[in-house]
Structure 1
Amino acid sequence: MDDTFTASHEVVLILDFGSQYSHLIARRLRECKVYCELQPYDLSADQIRKLNPKGIVLSGGPQSVYATDGLHVAEGVFDLGIPILGICYGLQEMAWSLGGHVVPGVKKEYGHMDIHITARKHPLAQLFHGLPDTFSVWMSHGDKLAALPTGFVDVANTANTEHAAVSHPSRWFYGLQFHPEVTHTQHGTQILRNFVTNVCKCRCDWSMSDFVSEAKSAIKEMVGHRVVIGAVSGGVDSTVAAVLMKEAVGDQFHGFLVDNGVMRKNEAVEVMDRLANRCGVNLQLVDASEKFLDRLTGVSEPEKKRKIIGNTFIECFEKEASKLNADFLLQGTLYPDVIESISHKGPSATIKTHHNVGGLPDHMKLKLIEPLRFLFKDEVRALGLELGIERESIFRHPFPGPGLAIRILGDITTKRLKILQEADSIFLHELRVHNLYNEIGQAFAVLLPVKAVGVMGDKRTYEEVITLRAVKTSDYMTADWFDLPTPMLRKTSARIVNEVPGVNRVTYDITSKPPGTIEWE
């Protein structure tokens, strides 16, 4: 179904040279209601013609265009007659390929710089329509454009960069030395919107309502009368994928919720109620908690915990799935998973290989259905709302696949699991009561592998320590600790110490990412 429900939409291609910001370009264009795809920087001219894009964006990248390992677009791309916007390395690649001169900069530019628009009447000024003459942009480059190719002119500069924005009037080529896709650049999204609307003449018709109907039609056509199975965790991605599948093929979809014993308090019951009872998903609960906890006994190393949980999950899922004569497997793969697993050269290349990208084990003779693989996280949430899923489910905080196993530092026992479940439940409840939950990107409690001395009821205690963690983040790549109100922290701490047997101390983690991570393990 990869091409079925995108064929009717206009496309803007992003040729990826390995920038850490490449996926942000796609995000910003999606915000403009334009469907876009990341493709390798060396996509052939013939392949581009087949995709029939309205425009092309050349991303940034870490290489130097003049180096022996410099990356270059395929032959003929600049002769396609398609509007092209080059960003940072993309600008330098365009200039270098068309006869310009790129050199190492005497002064490197990293961070905020003021850009000055110098040619309002020039065609490139369409990118700056409605913007002030001077505003702050985000620079991140060591090389610089020293001489323009024939036919190009300057449109903007900074104190250190005379060619901060350039254009070729007749070929609809545009180049920006700064990064409009990052939030640090003022008016960055407007610049990209001006490119796709004023230059590429896109209709901007990419919407979730269209996506729902087109995706359902594509799923029905693919599945026919056959059976689809899928694992459902209750998280945003699996919930939306399951409800979309149910809307498309009804009870031909069989979902399995595997209770691994390290879920949050009452979570299995709540997920079953939400998805099976309220959303009508054909969902079966597989209680394998005893098996998981037995295998986790005495294991303290986090990677071993992950491996045990992953392998046991596959074993349980395959056992149940084998009872059905299924043809398809539903997976909640998102577009960032696909981007990070595609081997483009550079920092964006193979950041990690996702378990749900790139196929199935050989012994599983099933075809994949990945209806969310074109979507970013916020688009999945918008899709969930379009499907009528309750807002609380769509905007719940992320929860790791290994569950509380990696939030219990050290050995996992039934007693320690109960302690963390209760403490975590209290923390999340207080965040909701104080109307803070939706302001936070992720919040949870952690059980530390140490004990502390305390005094309770005039008696000395030696009991467990709970750490609370809450962060604000837009992309989960970086995060800052959330400044929770002191009264809320005081109440939460008092409740945990008084209501959770075995805990006598509560701390709050005020570490940002980096240098820390969001999770503790």
Structure 2
Amino acid sequence: MAKEMILVLDFGGQYNQLIARRVRELSVYSEVRPYTMSLDEIKELAPKGIILTGGPSTVYEDDAPKCSPELFKLGIPVLGICYGAQLMNYLLGGEVKSAPVREYGHTDVNVDTEAKLFKGVLSKTVCWMSHTVYIAKPAPGFRITAHTEVCPVAAAENVEENLYCVQFHPEVVHTVEGTTMLANFVKDVCKCKCDWKMDSFVETSIKEIREKVGSGRVLCALSGGVDSSVAAVLLSKAVGKQLTCVFVDHGLLRKNEGDEVEAVFGPEGPYDLNFIRVNAQERFYSKLAGVEDPETKRKIIGEEFIRVFEEEAKKVGAVDFLVQGTIYPDVIESGLGKSAVIKSHHNVGGLPDYVDFKEIIEPLRLLFKDEVRKAGLELGIPENLVFRQPFPGPGLAIRIIGEVTAEKVKLVQDADAIFRREMQLAGFDKYANQYFVALTNMRSVGCMGDERTYDYACLLRAVTTTDFMTAEAAELPWSLINKVTSRIVNEVKGISRVFYDCTGKPPATIELE
């Protein structure tokens, strides 16, 4: 990567990678490393600045994660956020106590506009708070630069030592002027040139992959979705014919999608790839028979994917590496590190304990969806593929509540094709970042053609989001929902009711299971 970088030390919060993303949006490379990283390793990286993240712990607990106090003597600017702010002050002689009043959510914060972090910020600004512990007294050498009605130290700075801390989260969109605050730290405090671009990521990734793979052979798990497609083209540019792409048609894809994927990546497509299509529909249906629990479904599909890849690898010959299009929301939701498990993604938490490959390569692991799309454009992938609707690895299995059967899959495929088509015709396909049909496990009485029916209810889901870590239900016009409903009920035999999901993320996830 470019030498100029901001290092983010991870103390276990849900938003930690989001901090790195915000820094990268300022055209400065940033990456997240564990808080256990040694001082020597930090010196070797030579970051222009360090950010300490939030986390669920309390600093005065014996087992709380802590960095060395020597970190603050390296001469590198440090910004502490939430837990990171408390830890900085605690280690340097300040007082951290249980807060008499918990602060959570949108909070009015009074700031000193003369402070370095708050240049160009309103004297009263809205920030996102989430804490039950607070800094009662800042460490020696710090001056208070922000406060709220109940939090005496919402921010503080020690300009002489280049140390800064905020009790709130500037990285989330709910902090209205958070980007300005981070930009002040990155540009004015750390003196970054802000000249990093996505092509730096692509060029460096290709170089690193070549060095890692050497003369080895690589198998890529290609689903045809955005993430795996970008990973495949990235690997193709790095190792060429050493790469074999295996597309597993597990029978859980969208309507006609298997043929569409083969048309793009197969022998008639624009990419010079070794492409293998495996038709394994019956194999997956058999494994999923009778299974209703969503986590169990994900893990079954994840393991079966790996077993298919292993079998194909043996046919190809000795294969050393497996490539997957894992991106950061997959990682954080699967609960790796200290974050809570939300759901296991088939290519992260859903992996079996034993995998018959030398190593798994995940070149997109630190990127969010929009960054993956930028990388795809940088690689020359056509826009219609780069901006294709996101699709989960377990496919329609997690858009079918309860047991998965071939009959249910066809219902979802047909209904989903109608929804996607009408979204395109109405011009809302660019407005909603993800939209699809899911099949509920509910059946209800209906009346069609003067006859009683007892069919399934399906659910329309459409959300707007930037990073897929948070999302809001898309406000679709009633005329569009009504047309989609009419078409599905009339054209898809077996579905008699249609619902629209109005839930955001959180509290829901984007997918149903």
Fold match (TM-score > 0.5): yes
How many angstroms does 1:266 deviate by?
A: 0.4
The amino acid of 2:453's aligned partner reads T
User: In the aligned structure 2, how far is the partner of 1:514 from the partner of 1:196?
Assistant: 29
Q: Are 1:117 and 2:96 counterparts?
A: no
Quickly say closer, same or farther: Cα 1:53–1:307, change in 2 above 3 A.
closer
Quickly say closer, same or farther: Cα 1:311–1:166, change in 2 above 3 A.
closer
The amino acid of 1:25's aligned partner reads I
Is the 1:154–1:163 contact (alpha carbons within 8 Å) kept by the matching residues of 2?
Answer: yes
Provide structure 1 residue ranges, at least 5 long, that are not aligned to the other structure: 1-5
Q: Are 1:249 and 2:239 counterparts?
A: yes
User: In the aligned structure 1, how far is the partner of 2:315 from the partner of 2:88?
Assistant: 56
Quickly say closer, same or farther: Cα 1:463–1:363, change in 2 above 3 A.
closer
Q: Which residue of 1 aligns with 2:220?
A: 230
Q: Which residue of 2 aligns with 1:86?
A: 80
How many angstroms does 1:360 deviate by?
A: 8.3
Is the 1:419–1:502 contact (alpha carbons within 8 Å) kept by the matching residues of 2?
Answer: yes
The amino acid of 1:151's aligned partner reads G
How many angstroms does 1:133 deviate by?
A: 2.6
Q: Which residue of 2 aligns with 1:460?
A: 452
Q: Which residue of 2 aligns with 1:333?
A: 326
User: In the aligned structure 1, how far is the partner of 2:344 from the partner of 2:461?
Assistant: 27
Q: Which residue of 2 aligns with 1:379?
A: 371
SS of structure 2 residue aligned to 1:186: coil
Between structure 1 and structure 2, the one with the greater Rg is 1
Is the 1:466–1:505 contact (alpha carbons within 8 Å) kept by the matching residues of 2?
Answer: yes
SS of structure 1 residue aligned to 2:88: helix
Is the 2:334–2:341 contact (alpha carbons within 8 Å) kept by the matching residues of 1?
Answer: yes
Quickly say closer, same or farther: Cα 1:68–1:298, change in 2 above 3 A.
closer
Is the 1:446–1:467 contact (alpha carbons within 8 Å) kept by the matching residues of 2?
Answer: yes
Quickly say closer, same or farther: Cα 1:159–1:306, change in 2 above 3 A.
closer
User: In the aligned structure 2, how far is the partner of 1:60 from the partner of 1:414?
Assistant: 45
SS of structure 2 residue aligned to 1:439: coil
Query: Which residues of 2 match residues 410-429 of structure 1 at below 5 A?
Result: 410-429=402-421
How many angstroms does 1:45 deviate by?
A: 1.9
User: In the aligned structure 1, how far is the partner of 2:335 from the partner of 2:501?
Assistant: 35
Q: Which residue of 2 aligns with 1:3?
A: none
Q: Which residue of 2 aligns with 1:469?
A: 461
The amino acid of 2:164's aligned partner reads Y
> Which residue among 114, 117, 127 is the counterpart of 1:137?
127
SS of structure 2 residue aligned to 1:495: helix
User: In the aligned structure 2, how far is the partner of 1:254 from the partner of 1:63?
Assistant: 44
Query: Which residues of 2 match residues 89-104 of structure 1 at below 5 A?
Result: 89-104=83-98
How many angstroms does 1:372 deviate by?
A: 1.9
Quickly say closer, same or farther: Cα 1:100–1:367, change in 2 above 3 A.
closer
Q: Deviations over 1:237-284 (max 9, x none)?
A: 110000111122222211011111121110011111123313443322
Is the 1:102–1:144 contact (alpha carbons within 8 Å) kept by the matching residues of 2?
Answer: yes
Quickly say closer, same or farther: Cα 1:451–1:59, change in 2 above 3 A.
closer
How many angstroms does 1:356 deviate by?
A: 4.4
How many angstroms does 1:146 deviate by?
A: 2.5
Quickly say closer, same or farther: Cα 1:460–1:272, change in 2 above 3 A.
same
Q: Which residue of 2 aligns with 1:26?
A: 20
Quickly say closer, same or farther: Cα 1:367–1:463, change in 2 above 3 A.
closer
Q: Which residue of 2 aligns with 1:285?
A: 277
Quickly say closer, same or farther: Cα 1:200–1:341, change in 2 above 3 A.
farther
Q: Are 1:239 and 2:232 counterparts?
A: no
Quickly say closer, same or farther: Cα 1:179–1:316, change in 2 above 3 A.
closer
Quickly say closer, same or farther: Cα 1:262–1:352, change in 2 above 3 A.
closer
User: In the aligned structure 2, how far is the partner of 1:314 from the partner of 1:362?
Assistant: 10
Greater alpha carbon shift after TM alignment, 449-458 vs 236-245:
449-458
> Which residue among 82, 99, 103 is the counterpart of 1:105?
99
The amino acid of 1:249's aligned partner reads V
State the aligned residue count.
509
Is the 1:118–1:157 contact (alpha carbons within 8 Å) kept by the matching residues of 2?
Answer: no
Quickly say closer, same or farther: Cα 1:227–1:218, change in 2 above 3 A.
same
How many angstroms does 1:138 deviate by?
A: 1.9
Is the 1:444–1:470 contact (alpha carbons within 8 Å) kept by the matching residues of 2?
Answer: yes
Quickly say closer, same or farther: Cα 1:49–1:383, change in 2 above 3 A.
same
Is the 2:230–2:375 contact (alpha carbons within 8 Å) kept by the matching residues of 1?
Answer: yes
Q: Deviations over 1:474-496 (max 9, x none)?
A: 44444433232111111111211
Greater alpha carbon shift after TM alignment, 356-365 vs 21-30:
356-365
User: In the aligned structure 1, how far is the partner of 2:167 from the partner of 2:507?
Assistant: 29
SS of structure 1 residue aligned to 2:61: coil
User: In the aligned structure 2, how far is the partner of 1:329 from the partner of 1:175?
Assistant: 41
How many angstroms does 1:506 deviate by?
A: 2.4
Quickly say closer, same or farther: Cα 1:332–1:136, change in 2 above 3 A.
same
Is the 2:303–2:352 contact (alpha carbons within 8 Å) kept by the matching residues of 1?
Answer: no
Is the 2:57–2:65 contact (alpha carbons within 8 Å) kept by the matching residues of 1?
Answer: yes
Q: Which residue of 2 aligns with 1:389?
A: 381
Q: Which residue of 2 aligns with 1:73?
A: 67
Quickly say closer, same or farther: Cα 1:468–1:333, change in 2 above 3 A.
closer
User: In the aligned structure 2, how far is the partner of 1:403 from the partner of 1:353?
Assistant: 13
Q: Which residue of 2 aligns with 1:63?
A: 57
Is the 1:472–1:479 contact (alpha carbons within 8 Å) kept by the matching residues of 2?
Answer: yes
User: In the aligned structure 1, how far is the partner of 2:285 from the partner of 2:333?
Assistant: 32
> Which residue among 136, 140, 146 is the counterpart of 1:150?
140
SS of structure 2 residue aligned to 1:170: helix
How many angstroms does 1:357 deviate by?
A: 5.5
How many angstroms does 1:232 deviate by?
A: 0.4
Q: Which residue of 2 aligns with 1:322?
A: 314
Query: Which residues of 2 match residues 173-252 of structure 1 at below 5 A?
Result: 173-252=163-242
Identity %: 50
Quickly say closer, same or farther: Cα 1:518–1:216, change in 2 above 3 A.
closer
Q: Which residue of 2 aligns with 1:9?
A: 3
> Which residue among 248, 253, 264 is the counterpart of 2:254?
264
Q: Which residue of 2 aligns with 1:434?
A: 426
How many angstroms does 1:516 deviate by?
A: 4.2
The amino acid of 1:268's aligned partner reads G
> Which residue among 393, 407, 410 is the counterpart of 2:399?
407
RMSD, aligned CA: 2.7
Is the 1:43–1:74 contact (alpha carbons within 8 Å) kept by the matching residues of 2?
Answer: no
Q: Are 1:520 and 2:512 counterparts?
A: yes
Q: Which residue of 2 aligns with 1:500?
A: 492
Greater alpha carbon shift after TM alignment, 448-457 vs 315-324:
448-457
Provide structure 2 residue ranges, at least 5 long, that are not aligned to the other structure: none
Greater alpha carbon shift after TM alignment, 192-201 vs 503-512:
503-512
> Which residue among 264, 267, 274 is the counterpart of 1:274?
264
